[in-house]
Structure 1
Amino acid sequence: MYKKVLATAASAVLALTLTPAGPAAAKPVVSIVQGYSATVKENDSSFFCPENEVLIGRAHHGDENGSTTYWCGKIWIDRTQVAVSTNHYQLVDPETYSWFEAPESNAMVGREHDGDENGISVAYFAMLTYLGRPVTLVNKRWSETYTEESHESKANPGEIMTGRKHFGDENGDTEYQYAVVTYY
């Protein structure tokens, strides 16, 4: 009898060590769906993504009289749309040397530009929240370097735009900062 009880106890311990305690915490599913897009004349322009959308790309062709296209996207985490604050944080720089980076948990949501390369550019950022808590932006990266007068840049899947830098006139260099959206 003693051997049988010991064997049963050993089997029970083995079963406990081989059986998972429960399902592992699932990683949130993040998707970015393209939303609104528009093309505007660069000179004296103002562009903002619609409510609850963020920038995911930009293209420009020509000088300050050329056209600029903006692409916006909607962020979804586990089939719930991420909220984009309507209170915007802004940074202002002369266009000839503009370098904009979003604060933590913020995305780029708009841009204004006045005049030519000697004019002022303003970048607008907004806080992103999911279920009332800030999202996390990871793996920030700068795009390749483009010539401002003829380029197009879009975020990779799962990324949003979090910054832009530009040096010079329409022949100068432009880069974009993108980040991956996640939630812990």
Structure 2
Amino acid sequence: MLKNTLPAALAAAAVAALTLVPAGPASAATIEIRPGQVSTLKQSNSKFMCPTNEVLIGRGHRGDENGDTTFSCGRIYIDGVQVTVLRLDIWGTTTDENNHDYHTPANEAITGIRHDGDENGDTIYYSGALFWQGKAVQITPRQLEGWVRENNHASMAGTNQVMTGRRHTGDENGWTQYEYGWISYSG
């Protein structure tokens, strides 16, 4: 009798052990940022907005306030499905171009930039929150890049990064610094 109950007991113990083993971590979401619209405008009295569901991933400028500014947007995909960008800041946040330090609210990316006048005019930033299949997408951590001369530079986000801030001091010969944040999704 013991001979027949031992295999049954071992089988029951094995099944119980299998049900107690924690599942491995879920596979990480695949994040991809694809190039979107690229536009070049004269800086003075300009307004640039990324198209629907795109965010800023780069900016460059050549010359003075009448020089050209190039804006690069990107589309974010998680597991092959495009992220939705909800533009919450419809009025924008106004700063003084010649001395400002702008950062989007948490988990928002820059969606557009407007500039009024010359180097003493206002710069207005627009931002948007990111959602994937109805759930919030995080932008963390954020990192400031090194300072560059405003009158001759180009800056582009790294892999899986979006623009979340910009600092500027002085006129077109002054210094600019960009903040980029990494896209992450935890479900």
Shared fold per TM-score greater than 0.5: yes
d(CA) in 2 for partners of 1:138, 1:11:
47
- Extract unaligned runs of 5+ from structure 2: none
1:179 counterpart = 2:172? no
Look up the SS of the partner of 1:28 in the other structure. Answer: coil
Name the counterpart of 1:34: 35
99-108 vs 18-27, which deviates more? 18-27
1:75 counterpart = 2:113? no
Look up the SS of the partner of 2:114 in the other structure. Answer: strand
- TM-score, normalised with respect to structure 2: 0.89
The alpha-carbon deviation at position 94 of structure 1 amounts to 0.8
Do 1:160 and 1:181's aligned partners in 2 also have CA atoms closer than 8 Å?
A: yes
d(CA) in 2 for partners of 1:3, 1:97:
85
1:46 counterpart = 2:47? yes
The alpha-carbon deviation at position 179 of structure 1 amounts to 0.6
- TM-score, normalised with respect to structure 1: 0.90
The alpha-carbon deviation at position 22 of structure 1 amounts to 5.1
1:64 counterpart = 2:65? yes
Name the counterpart of 2:135: 133
Do 2:107 and 2:140's aligned partners in 1 also have CA atoms closer than 8 Å?
A: no
RMSD of Structure 2 on Structure 1 (CA): 2.0
d(CA) in 1 for partners of 2:138, 2:22:
29
Do 2:112 and 2:126's aligned partners in 1 also have CA atoms closer than 8 Å?
A: yes
Name the counterpart of 2:119: 117
1:2-32 deviation per Cα after TM superposition (whole angstroms, max 9, x unaligned): 3674466446645765796656412111110
d(CA) in 2 for partners of 1:142, 1:17:
49
Look up the SS of the partner of 2:89 in the other structure. Answer: strand
d(CA) in 2 for partners of 1:105, 1:88:
13
The alpha-carbon deviation at position 87 of structure 1 amounts to 3.7
For residues 156-171 of structure 1, what are the structure 2 equivalents within 5 Å? 156-171=158-173
Identity level (%): 39
- Extract unaligned runs of 5+ from structure 1: none
Do 1:34 and 1:73's aligned partners in 2 also have CA atoms closer than 8 Å?
A: yes
d(CA) in 2 for partners of 1:22, 1:120:
54
